[in-house]
């Protein structure tokens, strides 16, 4: 089977592969606006220079809320953020320079493909979902992601803010779905939505509103978390009318926020598949997780973690294949 390769240059200039199982297609990248990108199946092999991870970060930063003093955020700010999280300088440099799988405006593959929308976590953005988006595009999905409300500066100060913010993000997703109908190769009648962390709340709201959404994937999603568990009152969602199949992939590594399935248990007409993540933490399900698992320069490389993350991707793809084709 072909492989998607995320390559980085080690200290001696030798290519260090960070690979994810890939599908039969190349991966094209189209930028709709700084906060919104589309990955799509491209003719294989896709021609042109691959995007780097830094390009994804730059796209996201152009839409980020201003930094301290109202100054625009830069890659240096992002580097400082990673440093504050304990990522070593060599790891940051290697990661930002890493070529990804996607080629900008690569020739689309022939055919029509299901649409997948990705809702990032509350402070998440385009670059956080790069590995997931490229992986699915290689397997025959047109994938779109838009940076989150928190990335744009929206604030949450209490549990009372959770539903309004989730509705805001669901509105973004709905508008993005409308735009996807005009994208080359996109079959807008077959749609799935993937929500990571907070984004799963918005994904749930969208799935309840739009009949063409045939599947919901929750990756460590807030719909199965004890954090803000009362965010969705009965009047805000007709549980008895909700029938969209759900795959909920969850971690239990953080004892401060244990899983809580009361909301999903109330969705009795939805087929719900629960998939625990032994050995994986919350942030392993964004691009950072695979980089930490596979790049020695990050100082945290653990091959077994990379294999666990690949299994999550494969489980997600299998669910999408079953539900939207």
Q: What is the pLDDT of residues 48-73, one digit of tens each?
A: 888 899 999 999 998 888 888 888 88
Greater model confidence, 119 or 291: 119
pTM of the model: 0.92
pLDDT given at position 81? 87
**Which one-letter DSSP state was computed for residue 60?**
H
Instruction: Kindly state the tokens that stand for 55.
Output: 């390009």
Tell me the CA end-to-end span of the chain in Å, nearest whole number.
19
What is the number of alpha carbons within 13 Å of residue 289 lying toward its C-beta?
25
Is residue 151 pLDDT above 50, yes or no?
yes
Closest-CA residue to 163 (of 110, 224, 114, 222): 222
Closest-CA residue to 50 (of 92, 113, 106, 95): 106
**Does residue 61 belong to any structural domain of this protein?**
yes
The model's confidence at residue 296, banded by pLDDT at 50, 70 and 90, is confident
Is residue 13 pLDDT above 80, yes or no?
no
Which among 20-29, 114-123, 254-263 has the top mean pLDDT?
114-123
| 119: phi then psi, degrees, rounded to nearest 5 | -105, 110
CATH number at residue 170: 3.40.50.1820
Assign residue 152 a region: left if phi > 0, alpha if psi is -120 to 50, beta otherwise? alpha
Domain that holds residue 221: 23-323
**Does residue 13 belong to any structural domain of this protein?**
no
Is residue 3 pLDDT above 80, yes or no?
no
Per the structure, the count of domains in the chain is 1
Q: Are strands 213-219 and 186-196 parallel, antiparallel or unpaired?
A: parallel
Burial class (CB in 10 A: 0-12, 13-18, 19+), 262: exposed
Closest-CA residue to 193 (of 183, 180, 110, 182): 180
Cis peptide before 130 (omega within 30 of 0): no
**Does residue 54 belong to any structural domain of this protein?**
yes
Greater model confidence, 3 or 248: 248
**Does residue 115 belong to any structural domain of this protein?**
yes
């Amino acid at each position: 089977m072909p492989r998607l390769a995320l390559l980085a240059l080690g200290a001696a200039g030798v290519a260090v592969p960070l690979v994810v199982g890939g599908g039969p297609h190349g991966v094209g990248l189209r930028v709709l606006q700084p906060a919104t990108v589309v990955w799509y199946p491209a003719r294989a092999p896709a021609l042109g220079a691959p995007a780097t991870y830094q390009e994804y970060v730059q796209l996201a930063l152009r839409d980020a809320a201003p930094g301290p003093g109202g100054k625009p955020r830069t890659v240096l700010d992002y580097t400082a953020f990673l440093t504050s999280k304990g990522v070593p300088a060599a790891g940051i440099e290697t990661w930002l320079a890493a070529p990804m799988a996607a080629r900008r405006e690569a020739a689309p593959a022939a055919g029509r493909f299901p649409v997948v929308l990705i809702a990032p976590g509350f402070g998440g953005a385009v670059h956080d979902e790069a590995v997931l988006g490229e992986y699915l595009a290689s397997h025959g999905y047109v994938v779109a992601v838009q940076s989150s409300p928190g990335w744009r500066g929206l604030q949450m100060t209490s549990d009372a803010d959770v539903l309004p913010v989730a509705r805001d993000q669901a509105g973004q997703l709905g508008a993005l779905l409308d735009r996807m109908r005009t994208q080359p190769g996109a079959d807008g009648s077959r749609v799935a939505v993937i929500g990571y962390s907070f984004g799963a709340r918005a994904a749930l709201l969208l799935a309840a509103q739009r009949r063409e959404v045939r599947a919901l994937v929750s990756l460590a999603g807030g719909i199965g978390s004890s954090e803000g568990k009362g965010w969705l009152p009965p009047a805000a969602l007709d549980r008895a009318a909700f029938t969209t199949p759900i795959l909920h992939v969850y971690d239990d590594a953080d004892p401060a926020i244990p899983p809580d399935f009361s909301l999903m248990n109330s969705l009795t007409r939805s087929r719900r598949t629960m998939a625990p993540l032994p050995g994986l933490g919350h942030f392993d399900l964004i691009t950072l997780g695979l980089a930490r698992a596979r790049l020695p320069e990050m100082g945290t490389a653990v091959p077994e973690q990379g294999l666990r993350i690949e299994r999550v991707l494969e489980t997600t793809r299998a669910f999408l294949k079953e539900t939207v084709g």
